[in-house]
């Protein structure tokens, strides 16, 4: 008998493995929400089928038990640009208010006593004392008594153009306003923003599918056109009287995040001018007395809006995020004098996670120890040493309770899929809630952290190599970019976080996968983002150009077979680069790409570009459309037909420009999809189409 060696072949990744109801990476729990007392937390898991909304579970730390709370009937999107948490703990941690198929329901933390209090509801918020719940219905504010079900209508002028207490598309998408009303701490009043959208010309979004073949009219203000007129108001619940504390309409200002003073005497609002170069935090007394500005910040380019302040010391001081010293940091501000005391060091702070005033600490999420890593840090309120509670390379995303020792950490890195762990502040005890299944059988290869030289300094990048990488071969490369300005808490494309399996699938198909950020994307200094000012694509393009130059110098890269792709700003950057630096990339995929910044919204665009009426040359210089005739190589445009962020008019305009220039491009639309492509079938098609594109345009 002849001897033989049995070789075990590595399994080949497939798109069906990656995009599935039960992908090979598993289904981790998500949407964690802690009870205020820290004794329990909610989480969700996918429903039984793709059409089913997530199922809610509650975990009790003391009993160490998990219990299914309920399977919601519908996962409503709400009126905002992004879905918000529609499950809210009561202050005493004993009940939950939730939106279920549009209805407001209240249920005990053990799932008992489920009752429906109202229909057609958005954004429920418990009152202090938990006796009542405020909510939005048909653009008006209401309050319902939990025990009796009695409703009180607070505003009466809600309409298709008047919105009370609910952030409109612009404020939720570009100014990160998640809630536009708030209870006073004494429970006697509601402060709210009122939006008048009548100055905005409705923008049509066509839904083509026969099940809902309608035209959606979106109040989307294009750059240089009128904004919503917004005012800050307060309603007295006992009398029903409504007082306007401030109107931003006369000076065309943005009224961003706001918060009540702890003693309920005033509402503090963050106000930004239309040019977004001046910010002030102003206290407006509830009784209409003269307002007082606590602090002012300005920048010759733009200021970045921040979350509402967090008051400490009974309202005598507040915690405030600011970029005034060149990096986003956390400050303690004296409310009376407006003087700042910096609490955090020379690293970007992404978010304030928790305040423990009794212990004298705050917990923050920060990019530390490098701008590519994310950690949870404990910071002294009184100037003591900082402690990194999540040491190690990579990304550590944390969800904390207001009280209690528990927190949930999701940790990952380029080469480490996510691990979800329940940890304790008071001990080293931990429980793994989810670990990505072992993927060793797939021989995924490895991803390397890189720094690419450029005249702007080192640029962050990473390179994914196949398991059987042979440096003597010459590989085609797929380059991914986003490249645009993002709030610090979002992170950037080259952060050390698990990228998913698509890069590894491409590597198994013979491609190297490369990601790079441009000089303006580095989040370690706020001045970097100012490089975008009136230069958008011009400065962002320096990232992929530097990356391409570095790649072409590597002996294992085929310089004639490099592709570029991205979505949203990354789609714009792909189209911009291939028309403004033609010939560098052989092929590109531009997903949901802005074609001209005149076609995008006011708050985002004008922050970086100014008004188009005053900066015509900058708008023309940074648009893709005028350079269509310079396109070289293969270009594929992808977009959802119901995109309410980058409207399909952008892709249609690009098509017309390329037709006029005699340039052939490929184009595919996803019916009724928004800015992101969702659903298993659509995402499988997207990944399949992209893989096929790279194999057709980048392989010999």
Give phi and psi for 232, each to the nearest 5.
-100, 125
Rounded Cα distance between 691 and 695, Å, is 6
What value does the CA radius of gyration of the chain take, rounded to a whole number of Å? 26
Higher pLDDT among residues 211 and 573, named by residue: 573
**Residue-level pLDDT at 605:** 98
Rounded Cα distance between 361 and 376, Å, is 13
pLDDT band at 8 (very low <50, low <70, confident <90, very high): very low
Region 586-602: mean pLDDT is: 97
Q: Is the pLDDT of residue 79 over 70?
A: no
Rounded Cα distance between 102 and 98, Å, is 9
Burial (CB count <10 Å: 0-12, 13-18, 19+), residue 226: middle
Q: Is the pLDDT of residue 7 over 70?
A: no
Q: Is the pLDDT of residue 6 over 50?
A: no
Q: Which two tokens stand for residue 441?
A: 């059988």
Lateral strand order in the sheet of 55-60: 30-34, 40-45, 55-60, 65-71
Q: Is the pLDDT of residue 87 over 60?
A: yes
**Residue-level pLDDT at 80:** 56
Rounded Cα distance between 566 and 696, Å, is 18
Is the domain 440-698 a CATH 3.10.20.600 member? no
Q: List, for residues 285-318, the tens digit of each pLDDT value.
A: 999 999 999 999 999 999 999 999 999 999 999 9
Q: List, for residues 398-439, the tens digit of each pLDDT value.
A: 999 989 899 999 999 999 999 999 999 988 889 999 999 999
Q: List, for residues 375-397, the tens digit of each pLDDT value.
A: 999 999 988 889 999 988 899 99
Pairing of strands 557-567, 587-591: parallel
Q: Average pLDDT of the chain?
A: 93
Helix (H, G, I), strand (E, B) or coil at 470: coil
**Residue-level pLDDT at 3:** 36
Q: Is the pLDDT of residue 370 over 90?
A: yes
The string of DSSP codes covering 382-450 is: TS---EESS-SSSEEEEEE-SSSSEEEEEEEETTEEEEEEEEESSSS-EEEEEEPPP-GGG---EEEEE
Region 347-367: mean pLDDT is: 95
Q: Is the pLDDT of residue 129 over 60?
A: yes
**Residue-level pLDDT at 124:** 94
Give phi and psi for 651, each to the nearest 5.
-65, -40
Q: Which two tokens stand for residue 587?
A: 């092929």
Q: List, for residues 657-695, the tens digit of each pLDDT value.
A: 999 999 999 999 999 999 999 999 999 999 999 999 999
Q: Is the dihedral of CA 418, 423, 428, 434 positive or negative?
A: negative
**Residue-level pLDDT at 316:** 96
Helix (H, G, I), strand (E, B) or coil at 118: strand
**Residue-level pLDDT at 2:** 36
Rounded Cα distance between 541 and 569, Å, is 11
Rounded Cα distance between 465 and 324, Å, is 41
Rounded Cα distance between 390 and 373, Å, is 10
Any idea which residue has 């005012």 for tokens? 231
**Residue-level pLDDT at 75:** 56
Q: Please state which of the ranges 68-77, 379-388, 455-464 shows the lowest mean pLDDT.
A: 68-77
**Short-list 655, 594, 663, CA closest to 634:** 663
Residues whose CB falls within 8 Å of the CB of residue 648, separated by 6 or more in sequence, listed in order: 639, 640, 641, 669
Give phi and psi for 26, each to the nearest 5.
85, 175
Q: Is the pLDDT of residue 84 over 70?
A: no
Q: Is the pLDDT of residue 81 over 60?
A: no
Region 22-40: mean pLDDT is: 94
Rounded Cα distance between 150 and 656, Å, is 57
Decide: 181 and 125 in contact? Cβ < 8 Å: yes
Helix (H, G, I), strand (E, B) or coil at 245: strand
Q: Which two tokens stand for residue 568?
A: 């949203």
**Residue-level pLDDT at 314:** 93
Residues whose CB falls within 8 Å of the CB of residue 287, separated by 6 or more in sequence, listed in order: none
pLDDT band at 9 (very low <50, low <70, confident <90, very high): low
**Short-list 461, 539, 525, 549, CA closest to 499:** 461
Helix (H, G, I), strand (E, B) or coil at 109: coil
Give phi and psi for 398, each to the nearest 5.
-125, 140
Decide: 181 and 192 in contact? Cβ < 8 Å: yes
């Amino acid at each position: 008998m002849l001897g033989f060696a049995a070789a075990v072949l590595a399994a080949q990744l497939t798109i069906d493995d990656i995009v599935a109801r039960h992908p090979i990476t598993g289904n981790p729990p998500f949407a964690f929400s802690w009870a205020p007392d820290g004794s329990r937390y909610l989480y969700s898991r996918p429903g039984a089928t793709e059409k089913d909304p997530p199922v809610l579970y509650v975990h009790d730390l003391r009993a160490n038990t998990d219990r299914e709370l309920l399977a919601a009937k519908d996962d409503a999107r709400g009126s905002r640009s992004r879905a918000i948490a529609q499950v809210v703990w009561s202050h005493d941690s004993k009940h939950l208010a939730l939106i279920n198929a549009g209805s407001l329901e209240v249920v005990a933390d053990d799932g008992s006593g489920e009752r429906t209090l109202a229909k057609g509801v958005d954004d429920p918020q418990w009152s202090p004392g938990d006796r009542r719940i405020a909510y939005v219905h048909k653009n008006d504010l209401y309050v319902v008594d939990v025990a009796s079900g009695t409703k009180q209508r607070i505003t009466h002028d809600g309409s298709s153009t008047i919105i009370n207490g609910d952030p409109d598309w612009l404020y939720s998408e570009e100014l990160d306003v998640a809630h536009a009303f708030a209870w006073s701490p004494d429970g006697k009043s509601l402060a709210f923003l009122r939006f008048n959208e009548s100055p905005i010309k409705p923008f049509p979004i066509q839904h083509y599918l026969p099940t809902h073949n309608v035209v959606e009219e979106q109040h989307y203000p294009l750059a240089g056109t009128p904004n919503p007129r917004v005012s800050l108001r307060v309603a007295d619940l006992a009398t029903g009287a409504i007082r306007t504390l401030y109107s931003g309409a006369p000076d065309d200002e943005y009224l961003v995040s706001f918060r009540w003073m702890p003693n309920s005497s005033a509402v503090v609002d963050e106000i930004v001018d239309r040019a977004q170069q001046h910010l002030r935090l102003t206290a407006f007394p509830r009784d209409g007395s003269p307002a007082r500005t606590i602090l002012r910040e300005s920048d010759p380019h733009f200021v970045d809006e921040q979350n509402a302040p967090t008051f400490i010391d009974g309202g005598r001081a507040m915690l405030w995020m600011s970029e005034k010293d060149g990096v986003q940091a956390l400050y303690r501000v004296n409310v009376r004098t407006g003087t700042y005391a910096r609490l955090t060091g020379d690293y970007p702070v992404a978010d304030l996670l928790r305040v423990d005033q009794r212990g004298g600490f705050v917990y923050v999420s920060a990019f530390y120890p490098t701008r590519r890593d994310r950690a949870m840090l404990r910071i002294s309120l009184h100037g003591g040493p900082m402690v990194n509670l999540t040491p190690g390379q990579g990304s550590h995303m944390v969800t904390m309770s207001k009280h209690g020792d528990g927190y949930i950490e999701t940790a990952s890195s380029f080469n480490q899929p996510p691990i979800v762990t329940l940890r304790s502040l008071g001990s080293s005890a931990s429980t793994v809630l989810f670990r990505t299944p072992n993927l060793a059988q797939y021989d995924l290869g490895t991803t390397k952290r890189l720094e690419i030289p450029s005249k702007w300094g080192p640029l962050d990048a990473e390179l994914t190599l196949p398991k059987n990488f042979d440096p003597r071969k010459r590989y085609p490369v797929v380059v991914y970019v986003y490249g645009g300005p993002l709030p610090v808490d979002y992170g950037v494309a080259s952060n050390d976080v698990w990228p998913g399996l698509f890069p590894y699938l491409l590597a198994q198909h013979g491609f190297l996968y490369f990601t790079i950020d441009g000089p303006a994307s580095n989040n370690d200094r706020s001045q970097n983002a100012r490089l975008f000012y009136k230069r958008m694509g011009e400065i962002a393009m320096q990232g992929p150009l530097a990356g391409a130059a570095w790649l072409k110098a590597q002996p294992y890269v085929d310089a004639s077979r490099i592709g570029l792709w991205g979505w949203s700003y990354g789609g714009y950057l792909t189209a911009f680069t291939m028309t403004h630096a033609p010939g560098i990339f052989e092929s590109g995929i531009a997903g949901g790409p802005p074609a001209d910044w005149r076609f995008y919204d006011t708050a985002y665009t004008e922050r970086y570009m100014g008004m188009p009426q005053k900066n015509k040359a900058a708008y023309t210089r940074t648009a893709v459309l005028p350079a269509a005739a310079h396109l070289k190589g293969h270009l594929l445009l992808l977009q959802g037909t119901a995109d309410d962020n980058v409207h399909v008019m952008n892709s249609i305009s690009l098509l017309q420009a390329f037709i006029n220039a005699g340039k052939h491009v490929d184009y595919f639309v996803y019916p009724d999809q928004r800015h992101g492509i969702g659903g298993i079938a659509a995402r499988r098609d997207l990944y399949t189409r992209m893989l096929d594109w790279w194999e057709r345009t980048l392989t010999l």
